[in-house]
Every structure is written in structure tokens, then in C-alpha cells.
């Protein structure tokens, strides 16, 4: 719950003040994406009911291509191979906890709709593109 609040606060600092929903588990996240379109989903890998990997696979299987969100894995387990496991499940990007503003800005700027629309202000953070997101 604390991580959710911190992430929502970081999103607000990046200019995402509306349309931020929080799901308690992977099953709720899947149901939310099935019910309404989302541009981006920040998916915790370790959740009850259905973990983020299973939820992502289900979203990729059940949601049409034109409604599929950009899914970013968020995980505390920054072990070797975790990023590959997340990408294999269908996630588009990977960030480890604790989530830092500059890394979140970098990931959101890579999202097709957000990066093009300027929803993430240019002055929100500067990120070295050579820096890997999982080396927090």
C-alpha cells in the first residue's frame, strides 16, 4: 500500500494527475483493463490473487491489440533474469523498487501514447539513456 501511494505521488509529480487507478491485486488489474482502456499499466510483479506476470499474460491474450496498454513491471526482486522474465510475459518495460522519479519518467516517455503527447513534462527529470532501469 505504501509503494502504491509513493508511485501515485510520483505520477502526480510527472503531471499524471487524472485517470490514475490502483488495483489491489493482479485479478483486479486484469478486470480493470478489460472494463476500460488504459494507456499505461504499472504492474507489480508480486501481488496476491494473481501475480503481475500472470495478469500481464492474461491482458495480452484477452485484450484486443488496439486496446492493449503499455505495461511496465515494477518489482522489488531485482535479480538477474527478472527483466527477461517480465518481458517474456509480455511487459514492455521494467523498473525495480524503490521506484525513482527519473526512472519512472524514462519509462513513461517510452510509452507510445504518453511519450508522443507530452504527458510527461520535459523538465520532470533528466535521465542518462545509457543507464539501465533495473540498476536502481
Structural domain that includes position 85: 2-117
pLDDT for 78 equals 64
> Would 136 be classed as within a structural domain?
no
DSSP string, 1-40: -HHHHHHHHHHHHTT--SS----SSHHHHHHHHHHS--SE
> Would 106 be classed as within a structural domain?
yes
Which tens digit of pLDDT belongs to each residue from 102-116?
999 998 888 886 544
> Would 44 be classed as within a structural domain?
yes
> What is the pTM assigned to this prediction?
0.78
Number of domains in the chain: 1
> Would 135 be classed as within a structural domain?
no
> Would 7 be classed as within a structural domain?
yes
The CATH number of whichever domain residue 11 belongs to comes to 3.40.50.2300
> Would 130 be classed as within a structural domain?
no
> Would 104 be classed as within a structural domain?
yes
> Would 132 be classed as within a structural domain?
no
115 three-class SS: helix
pLDDT for 125 equals 34
Cell of 33: 483493463
Which tens digit of pLDDT belongs to each residue from 61-107?
999 988 999 999 998 866 677 888 899 999 999 888 888 999 999 98
Amino acid at each position: 500500500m505504501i509503494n502504491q501511494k509513493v508511485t501515485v505521488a510520483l505520477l502526480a509529480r510527472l503531471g499524471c494527475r487524472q485517470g490514475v487507478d490502483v488495483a489491489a491485486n493482479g485479478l483486479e488489474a486484469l478486470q480493470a483493463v478489460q472494463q476500460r482502456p488504459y494507456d499505461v499499466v504499472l504492474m507489480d510483479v508480486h501481488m496476491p490473487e494473481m501475480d503481475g506476470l500472470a495478469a500481464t499474460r492474461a491482458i495480452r491474450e484477452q485484450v484486443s491489440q488496439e486496446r492493449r496498454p503499455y505495461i511496465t513491471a515494477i518489482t522489488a526482486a531485482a535479480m538477474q533474469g527478472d527483466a527477461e522474465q517480465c518481458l517474456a510475459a509480455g511487459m514492455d518495460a521494467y523498473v525495480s523498487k524503490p521506484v525513482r522519479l527519473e526512472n519512472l519518467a524514462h519509462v513513461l516517455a517510452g510509452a507510445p501514447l504518453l511519450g508522443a503527447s507530452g504527458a510527461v513534462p520535459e523538465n520532470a527529470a533528466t535521465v542518462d539513456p545509457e543507464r539501465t532501469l533495473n540498476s536502481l
